[in-house]
Chains A and B, each alone.
Chain A
Amino acid sequence: MFIKRIFLLSVPVILSVFISCSESPTDIGASLLNEDFIGVTQINSLTDSISQSSSSVKQVVPLGISERIFIGKSHNVEAYSLINFWVYISDSLLLEDFRQDRINIISSTVQLANTYEIGDTNASLSFNVHNITSGWTSVGFTTDSLPLLQYNAANIGSNIAITDSFSTFQLDNSTVLSWIKDSEDSVINNDNGIFIAPVSESRIVGFQANSSSTDTITQPQMHVIYERAGDVDTIKFYAYEDVSVIEGEIPDGNNETIYVQAGLTSNAKLWFDLSGIPANSVINFAELTLTLDTIQTVVGNSFTNSLNVYMILDSANIDSITSGFTMSRDGGTFKGNITTIIQAMYTLQTNNGMLIRAGNRADGLELFAIKSSTAADSALRPYLKITYTNKK
């Protein structure tokens, strides 16, 4: 019985040992499999006559979500900002003293934390500040909203001081006093904040915007120094709403250059003819390379050095796009793996081209000048390399 059991149980073990002796597969017999032969081919837009086209397209984007507000003028854009402060005094006696003109405002200073610069950093920055007289909200506010904005023509700002970490300017005390007096009045409320319009050229500064994720000291704020019954005191009001508006036009590339710009916003559209890829192919790898015109490219001191590329789903609507893929900076080019985009275009038989955007459209004003599909030097044009597998 013992011998039988040993014999019976040893059989699966012996089989397992034999199985583990298999070698790795070789190419013996490959010639018999001609019905299943496949092969890999690589093509590129430079040497394989893949036609392409490119253009720049402006897209107005609300910047209410931006971590920064911008003020100034540089290269092709002008940056305006709107800020609304939460003017609220919890001390009812103090508020009453303000209302009864028993308090004298000595100064009203707006403080902004510097986080970004673009253009000539040695140039001066000057701007006018206006009292906004109509209601507004940062949600969805764009350049199209500016014509509807009402504000006083008088400049209520003065003593602009720009340093490395903070910038300040003073506001007209009487305007601030009127905000304070009306702060509890639900009928008369003339506190709609300030509209800042740039005057000087060649420099834009970006400041920390109202955000719950940063320290209080970096938030836009207004310091009001006042005198009450001989005592001097300070009260701070913080911004609860702010937004920037960027105005400008896409530069003329003269068929040599297309532009991707954050803030404005300018996107690039790119299209490649994929009809040369045989039917029933599988895309193994696709890489897009864009060459920068480094002379025309303008970047800030702190920016996202990448582009995003998307597949356009609807040729009539550039907002109808897929999720994006990042193109990283590699010297004077941007390179990105767009295998999934090309595979989708090929599989779905839908080729409306690709949209190129700045890596961060809201927190900077970078202008990336990219060699276009009609650039004189064909080696500098957008370069698409595709590796695919197909049946032989």
Chain B
Amino acid sequence: MIKHTKAYIIFFLFIGVLISETFGQSGSAYTRIGIGDIEYSYSARKLGIGQLGVSVSNNDLISIMNPAGLNRLTRTRIETGLNYSGLFLKSGNASTYYGEVEFSGFSFGFPISSDYGVGAALGILPYSNVSYEVLENIAPTAENEAYNILYEGRGGLSKMFLAASYTLPFNLTIGASLDYYFGNLNYFSKTEFLNTQTLNAEYKRTYSPRGLGSTLGIITPDIAGILNFENISDFRFGVVVSLAGELTTDTSFTSTSSLGIDTIAKGKSYINIPLRIAAGFSFILNKNFLFTFDYVYQGWSEYEMEGKKSSNLRDAMKLSGGFEFRPERELGASLWEQIIWRAGLSYEQTQYIIYGEGIDQLSVSGGFSFPLSLENTMDIGLQYAMRGTSDSNLYDENIIRLGVGLSLGEIWFVRQEK
């Protein structure tokens, strides 16, 4: 099975990168603002329970949201996945549909000391996404022939991380990660003429930010005993703070003509990513039912690009609740009896505010984990979200997001007792 598992990882990764590179296109023009849509859920599992889960730590999941959650890892784990987003846009009488696939990253985690709750993880994940394609058809006039103007945005910010956890006395777990942010934010404006004699023109603006950040998190001890709840266990609070700060950013502005690429402007600036704070609590009911409630805040009104704030950004916050049913592991249980089920609900005040209208999002999600073997699962998460408004010349979005992930656990680094 290990051999087949590895083969399938390679196949999955290859197909995922191929699809995302070939077909990864087109989403919402809202992503032109700031650094685009912020990614909260790094796995299909988290997508299924409302994307957060600050206070949750599992022995079969690499907890990236809160590094303190690495304390329960019992196996070396490898996780990767693909996310598909289907976007229905509607504005007035116009509507359209876009589909997009993204590679949701890769993470690798392993336990170091179960006695002291030391776990570690590293990986690369998407942090934000810029993806849109807008086409204006310009009719011919007495002076000009017909042409199209195409506006495109591609790219986003990614994060490489190296995280670890440690359990202090009284079972208070702390975690920290060193994060490296990097990426490209590319914005294109193109004129496309129908007459082949008239040459097209293209302008491209690129921001390439990079810089270090960190994430600090804590998960409290189980307070279910203190509160004397009979059927409740693993009642914990969690808090996590992510600091990205100032990212050094290379900027360039080019045009493309019949003579090639001409650099109009080039320089160095910075992008200021505001602090993110998340807090939440979770508990397990009757041993099988996990409930989680979380709140995230990020002060996007303080975001700066090239020293300027954006009037289209406001402070963002997200409230989410999630539920997971995990059956008991029993010998002889059938495949279907081993499936883990999830559901979630969230409300988000996104960072976008345009023409005085705040863009909010309401989401409902669900999912399951399908067992591949004892420690290996394929995770499926599905989310339906409504975002935006058709007031003030804006547009509504109905978003379907499908996450597919692989979570594989193996025993590595076993120290032989002498």
Contact = CB atoms under 8 A, between A and B. Distances in A.
Contacts of A21: 86, 97, 99
A91 interface: no
Interface majority SS on A: helix, strand, loop or mixed? mixed
B12 A12 contact: yes
A317 interface: no
B243 interface: no
Interface majority SS on B: helix, strand, loop or mixed? strand
Interface residues of A, number: 47
The range of chain B's interface size is 35 or more
Interface in B14-41: 15-16, 19, 23, 25-26, 28-30, 32-33
A3 B23 CA distance: 29
Interface string A91-106: 0000000000000000
- Residue of A32, A344, A388 with highest tally of chain B CB at under 10 A: A32
B89 interface: yes
Given A21-B97, A26-B94, A32 B258 contact: no
A280 B255 contact: yes
A39 B136 CA distance: 11
B99 A18 contact: yes
A19 B94 contact: no
A37 interface: yes
A155 interface: no
A16 B19 contact: yes
A41 B141 CA distance: 11
Given A11-B404, A31-B393, A40 B378 contact: no
B117 to A, nearest CB: 33
Interface string B115-146: 00000000000000000111111100001110
B101 A19 contact: yes
A369 to B, nearest CB: 28
Contacts of A347: 257, 259, 262
A38 B188 CA distance: 10
Contacts of B99: 18-22
A59 B300 CA distance: 68
A8 B8 contact: yes
Contacts of A33: 29, 32, 134, 151
Interface in A1-55: 3-4, 7-8, 11-12, 15-16, 18-33, 35-42
Interface string B200-224: 1111010000000000000000000
Given A25-B134, A37-B189, A285-B198, A343 B257 contact: yes
Given A25-B96, A28-B94, A284-B191, A15 B147 contact: no
- Residue of B30, B97, B143, B193 with highest tally of chain A CB at under 10 A: B143
7 contacts: A12-B16, A19-B19, A20-B99, A29-B395, A32-B30, A33-B134, A285-B198
